[in-house]
Each structure stands twice: as structure tokens, then as C-alpha cells.
Amino acid sequence: MLEQLIGHLEQQLSEHGDIVEVIMRTEQSLIAEEETHEVELLFAENEEAVQAGKPTATIHVFPLEKGLYEVEVEVTYDCQKEKRDPQKLLAAGQQIVAEMTLVEKTRYLEPGKAVEKLAVLAFHFIVEMPSDEEQAHYQKLLGKWAADTGKLLLL
């Protein structure tokens, strides 16, 4: 089922940019003796946009229980190179997806000397694999999500 959801996400995203990397992770807990899975997609306008340092979206897909998945989207902006205001990015992002959060990341080589400043806009939603009669609603949800993610890359 996870592969089917990833296929649907890829199909919807392809209308708004390119998936430039797909990573599947499986982790085995040594304490709880359980296995977890995650699929991570790196999405951008195109391959050249990644090389140019333009915004990228990292999309995490986590199975929660049979047929239920969490999809988390993190769109990263380089605020140092592009001279962007993270608060303005958040306000613009919330116009697209109301439940948006902002994380600011700054790396320093020494006190007062920032070498990297990133803003990460994030949101998530839950997807349930549909029955045959829910298929149209499911496709509409994924289509809106893909369009919103594409718009966020263009901020």
C-alpha cells in the first residue's frame, strides 16, 4: 500500500515540478523489537533548481497503521543567499496552507558570523487509502496538496 501511495504522490507532484530523489528507510528498534518505515521524496522545480540553491521540498511519508499514512512536507528556503525574511515567508505560506509552521536554522562558524540561515516551512496531513467510492475525493486531496507544494516552491 505504501508503494501505491508513493506512486499517487509522484503522479500528482509531476504536474508541479520534479522529484529529484527518493529514499526508503527501514529502522529496527533494538529495544521495542519493532520495525518502522519511511519514504522521503526530494521535490523541486527541476534538477537545476536544486543545484542553484532554490527552494526544495522534502516530503516524508510514514505508515501509521494499515491504510493510514502521515505525509509531512518541509520546504526549505536559503534566507542568507536570497535575503529573505522568514516571517514574510511564513505569512505567504499560510496564505497557501493555513496550518503552516516555521523553523529557522542558523549555523555559525564563530559568534556573530552566520554562514548559513535557512527557513523551513512545514505542514502535514493524514491520508487514508481509499475504497473505490472514495477514489475521487482522494485524488482531489492529493491534487490540492501537490499544487500547494508547487506554489510554496515559488515563494
Tell me what pLDDT residue 81 has: 83
Tell me what pLDDT residue 74 has: 98
Query: For residues 146 and 15, is the Cβ–Cβ distance under 8 A?
Result: yes
Mean per-residue pLDDT pooled into runs of 10, the chain (155 residues): 88 95 92 89 94 95 91 95 92 96 95 92 91 79 92 94
Tell me what pLDDT residue 41 has: 97
Percent of the chain with pLDDT over 70: 100
pLDDT tens-digit series, residues 100-119: 999 999 999 999 898 999 99
Walk across the sheet containing 35-44 and list its strands. 18-28, 35-44, 56-65, 68-78, 113-128, 101-110
Residue matched to cell numbers 516552491: 153
| Residues whose CB is less than 8 angstroms from the CB of residue 114 and which lie 6 or more positions away in sequence, other chains included | 80, 106, 107, 108
CB atoms < 10 A from the CB of 142, how many? 18
